Amino acid sequence: MRTSLLSIVPILASMLIACASDDSREHQSVRETAPQSDACGAHRAGLTLPADVPASAEVINLGRRLFSDPQLSGDQSVSCATCHVPTRAFADGRRRSVGAHGIVTRRSTPTLYNVAYQSKWLWDGRASTLEEQVMIALQNPEEMGMTHDLVGQHLRNYNSEFLSLFGQAPSMEMVAKAIAAYEKTLLAANSPVDRYLYCAEPNALSALEKEGLELFSGPANCIRCHWFFHETVHPFGGRMALFTDGRFHNIGAGEFEDAGRGAITGRAEDWGAFKTPTLRNVSLTAPYMHDGSLATLREVVEFYNRGGVMNSADPSIRPLRLTSSEIDALVAFLNALTSMEVEYATSN
Ligand code: HEC
Ligand code: HEC
């Protein structure tokens, strides 16, 4: 089994590299700057650039600049990067964030790493494309507080660039297109866990982290929702190993009334359900849960160990009876999901 896996993976990886190689100069410079092990981790975890990234490096560069330009907010005080801070894995370390006009967000800011590989966006999944999500962020009074008219007014200095790239003056739709293109390049998949699972590096994880992986995939059953393809489950080591099933569950987390997915679908069974978050780079994105109500990873694991709270509707959330050292092991495993691309982002 292992021999055949190892013989197939390089072929698969080279196919993926070939697919991505003509994407753009910009992507290549990301590749060149990223650590060597990226070639193994990212490709074997299936996290290569998505096929629909536009070929133009100019559009991605424009998206990157717009992402951190406060002209994109109603009162010109915040940019996407105010809350999605590159050095914090594109989250912000706060329970709630402060948007345009000082309005505080209802929920906690999630990471944007590997966001291209989600299938629904936002904690309640109300956006079904990344472009649509950017349009929501721009117009949401809690975030950017923008209007279509203000885009034209605030972005006059981008006029000639938009005209040459899109044949029109700045519009919200084209802003969304450029920012979404940039977001799709934010990939992180070469953590110690990736190197252990997908790169045949048995020493990439410590004994404690390995114990955590066993608990995660076995008795603690985290894998039920924080899904990833393991070679014993899927021979290619997996595509889109995001440590999420992309679904919505009510695990009972949160201190305030929030219907979550239920407000979108109107179905009673979705009440209080939120999208399973990716666990990649979770060590960098505290505090946790949709309302940031748990401060540390240890608190999160203790929450699960208690069986959530009384209103956890999902039957798999039940007391786990983990010992203190097993809790340590799970926390160590979660910490080992940290990728080096963060250093790449930091050094930029
Ligand atoms: C004031 C802080 C703030 C600003 C500014 C902001 N965001 Fe967010 N972002 C959030 C919060 C909070 C959420 C979660 C909201 C929810 O789920 O209801 C979020 C969610 C997202 C998501 C969904 C991620 C996922 O996994 O589902 C994306 C993508 C995103 N933001 C991109 C952007 C972009 C692009 C901009 C700029 C146009 C932006 N955000 C501006 C706070 C902010
Ligand atoms: C029934 C599905 C399910 C199971 C089982 C499950 N989770 Fe979760 N997990 C979720 C959902 C859904 C959320 C978000 C809940 C919210 O915000 O209200 C979450 C949130 C988290 C977070 C916070 C991430 C962040 O960015 O805020 C961590 C860490 C986490 N889970 C780890 C674990 C671990 C460790 C286990 C096993 C002990 C586990 N999960 C079991 C569905 C699940």
How close is the Cα of 40 to the center of ligand 1, in Å?
30
Q: What is the pLDDT of residue 140?
A: 93
Q: Token pair for residue 24?
A: 């753009």
Residues 323-333, mean pLDDT to the nearest whole number = 98
Give the chain's domains with CATH numbers: 57-183 (1.10.760.10), 192-346 (1.10.760.10)
Mutate to test the pocket of ligand 1, among 68, 69, 109 (most ligand atoms within 8 A of CB): 109
Residue minimizing CA distance to atom 36 of ligand 1: 80
Q: What is the pLDDT of residue 19?
A: 31
Each residue's pLDDT tens digit, 23-78:
333 333 333 333 444 456 666 666 766 666 655 788 989 999 999 999 999 999 99
How close is the Cα of 256 to the center of ligand 2, in Å?
17
Which ligand 1 atom is the nearest neighbour of the CA of 79?
5
Q: What is the pTM of this model?
A: 0.87
Q: Token pair for residue 122?
A: 């936002």
pLDDT score of 344 more than 70: no
What percentage of the chain has pLDDT greater than the value 70? Answer: 78
- State the Cα–Cα distance between residues 149 and 147, nearest whole angstrom: 5
Kindly give, in sequence order, each residue whose CB lies less than 8 Å from that of residue 191, ignoring residues fewer than 6 positions away. Answer: 41, 280, 281, 336, 337, 338, 339, 340
CB of 290 within 6 A of ligand 2: the answer is yes
Q: What residue type is assigned to position 202 of the chain?
A: P
Closest C-alpha among 80, 98, 99, 100 to residue 90: 80
Q: Token pair for residue 23?
A: 């994407």
Closest C-alpha among 88, 71, 48, 22 to residue 175: 71
